[in-house]
Amino acid sequence: MKPCALFLSLLLTLVGCPAWAEGEIVTRPDRRQEIDLRIEALDVRRAEISTTGPKTATLLGLGMTVLGGVVMGAGVAAFGDSPDDEDEPQLLNTLFAGVALMGVGGITAIWGGTVWGSRVSRRNEIDAERESLIEERDGLAATLSRVELRSPYRDGTQFVTLGIRF
For the chain, what is the radius of gyration of the CA atoms?
A: 37
- Residue 73 within any structural domain of the chain: yes
- Residue 157 within any structural domain of the chain: no
- Residue 158, H or E segment: strand 157-158
Instruction: Print the domain residue range for 62.
Output: 29-142
- Residue 129 within any structural domain of the chain: yes
- Residue 46 within any structural domain of the chain: yes
Count of CA atoms in the C-beta half-sphere (13 A) of 149: 9
Classify 80 in phi/psi space as left (phi over 0), alpha (psi -120 to 50) or beta: left
Q: What is the pTM of this model?
A: 0.61
How confident is the prediction along the chain (166 residues), in pLDDT tens digits per residue? 777 777 767 666 666 655 554 555 444 557 788 888 999 999 999 999 999 999 999 999 999 999 999 998 888 887 766 666 676 778 888 889 999 999 999 999 999 999 999 999 999 999 999 999 999 888 876 665 555 555 565 666 666 665 565 5
- Residue 135 within any structural domain of the chain: yes
- Residue 101 within any structural domain of the chain: yes
- Residue 164 within any structural domain of the chain: no
Structurally, the chain folds into a number of domains equal to 1
Q: Are 136 and 42 contacting, i.e. CB atoms less than 8 angstroms apart?
A: no
pLDDT at site 68: 94
- Residue 80 within any structural domain of the chain: yes
